[in-house]
Amino acid sequence: MSNICYYALSGINYKNEFSTVCPINSERLVYFDETILPSEIYKHENLNRIRRELYNGNWPEGCHLCEELELNKTHSMRNDRPFDGKKFSHELKSSCFDHFDIKTGKMSPLGCRHIELRFSNSCNMSCLHCSSVYSTGWGKILENYIPDEETKKYELLQLTNEYHNTDDRRKSKLKLTNKEVESICNDLNKNFPNIDRIEFSGGEVLIQKQFFLALEILAKHPNKDNIFLSFYSNFNVEVDYTRLTELLRPFKYSIITVSVDGGKNIYSYFRNGNWEKLKNNIINFRKINNFTELSCVNTFSAYQFMDLQNTFESLFELDFRYIKISLVQTPEYLNPSILAFDFHDELLSDFNDVFKIIDAENKKRKNDMKNSMKLNSSINSRFSNFFRNENKNQDRVIFSDLESAKHQLNSVKNYIFNKKVTSYKNYNRFLIYIKKTDELMNKDFNKHFDKFRYIDGELMRKR
């Protein structure tokens, strides 16, 4: 059976000094010292190889995260757009599969539909699941830090500066120059006429000059009227929202996915962010921009698992269009499934309580439809592809933040409680990681978590 993948066929993804095919593929397919030009990356033999392997039913090395999710009967990124033998779902034009040579794995540039760009690791935060490769905040923390023997013993990769940074060939941090960004974007404008999805990741793009330059150039793309443009931001920085709005205006549709990664309780602990600043920036942006969708992504690591209720109650208050969940599979000591060793029943109960909270919030909104209809998440299910199958074309109002949260939480729950956890070592690594990061970043776990306490190197559930 084929493992053919929309992203492997139609995508290019820029990471730290190398490019690959999608956000979660980890194989260093084309190094930047070979080329940074999309037209040369897309025809590289390593991308052809990935496509051939997937088509022939194999799992390339860098595709192991999707493989693991599918083995655990959980939705993978590969299944975002399933293939029916003729085309992928949600394709607006001719199928990118039409441009695929099955024998060689080659793709015509006409088949390229999706690109994710990353320019720099400049970031104002140092999130606990991140690393110095994608955050200058982490880089500053580690500037004068020397890992002790315990940190090395437990292989705490962020603290040993090895996470995302294990390839000896590339130890430098990503920083494309303005001139390089110009060459990349001009290449896209000239050679990829059918691109209809452009994404930007960081670092934090709103503090990167390259990001604004890229928007200016890509606004001249011949397919701009059909381009869905999106980017990720923590929305915890000061920025000229009027200028940003004007730069987004030329494209067919724009969406900002706000990386929240926690509720009021743990937001400052996990992200080093300010919750009130986040709220105010969202309010101010919405006053200026009435056409860009604001959705959010919530990282789901072991930390978020311990604060489920407050996390989702907090997200509902922000009135995002959709709530997405990004499951942390690596490093293994942050994978939420490790907590099932000691707290399986309690955390299963927490999961079920969150679904009750979602249902209660839905009922509350339905009882006040006059105000609820003003929410950004209030949509008619008849016009939503995302919920059409689940709601059988019923013409009724649903709240997309609640529905999307429930949908994705079910998938994460299925993963966590079906995953075979084979090593208690990773749980112990997490305990040491809490201690080390609290010391290094001057944090206090116990000030932020309601249901858990960290005492003498152990996690305990509050009664």
Domains defined along the chain, listed by start: 6-112 (no CATH), 178-455 (3.20.20)
Please report where in the chains the tokens 């500053």 appear, as a residue.
140
Please state, in angstroms and rounded to a whole number, the distance separating the CA atoms of residues 327 and 408.
10
Of 79-83, 114-118, 143-147, 383-387, the one with minimum mean pLDDT is 383-387
Q: Mean of the pLDDT values across residues 142-149?
A: 94
For 404-420, the pLDDT digits (tens) are 999 999 999 999 988 87
pLDDT of residue 365: 95
pLDDT of residue 392: 47
Of 61-65, 213-217, 315-319, the one with minimum mean pLDDT is 61-65
| pLDDT of residue 195 exceeding 80 | yes
Please state, in angstroms and rounded to a whole number, the distance separating the CA atoms of residues 113 and 221.
13
| pLDDT of residue 351 exceeding 50 | yes
Please state, in angstroms and rounded to a whole number, the distance separating the CA atoms of residues 151 and 174.
26
Concatenate the DSSP letters of all residues of 10-71 into one string: HEEEE-SSEEESSSS-----EETTT---HHHHHT-HHHHHHHHHHHTT---GGGHHHHHHHH
Of 88-102, 218-232, 380-394, the one with minimum mean pLDDT is 380-394
Contact 23, 201 (CB under 8 A): yes
Q: Mean of the pLDDT values across residues 188-199?
A: 96
pLDDT of residue 382: 44
Alpha helices in 367-418 (DSSP H): 369-372, 385-391, 400-418
For 54-92, the pLDDT digits (tens) are 999 999 989 998 998 888 888 899 988 888 888 888 776
Beta bridge partners of 293: 255
| pLDDT of residue 176 exceeding 50 | yes
Query: What is the band of 16 on the pLDDT scale with cuts at 50, 70, 90?
Result: confident
The residue among 226, 231, 312, 230 whose CA lies nearest residue 265 is 312
Neighbours of 320 (CB within 10 A): 27
For the chain, what's the residue count? 463
Asked if omega into 263 is within 30° of 0 (cis), the reply is no
Query: What is the band of 239 on the pLDDT scale with cuts at 50, 70, 90?
Result: very high
Of 34-43, 148-157, 383-392, the one with minimum mean pLDDT is 383-392
Please state, in angstroms and rounded to a whole number, the distance separating the CA atoms of residues 2 and 102.
11
pLDDT of residue 350: 95
pTM over 0.75? The answer is yes
pLDDT of residue 87: 85
Please state, in angstroms and rounded to a whole number, the distance separating the CA atoms of residues 67 and 73.
10
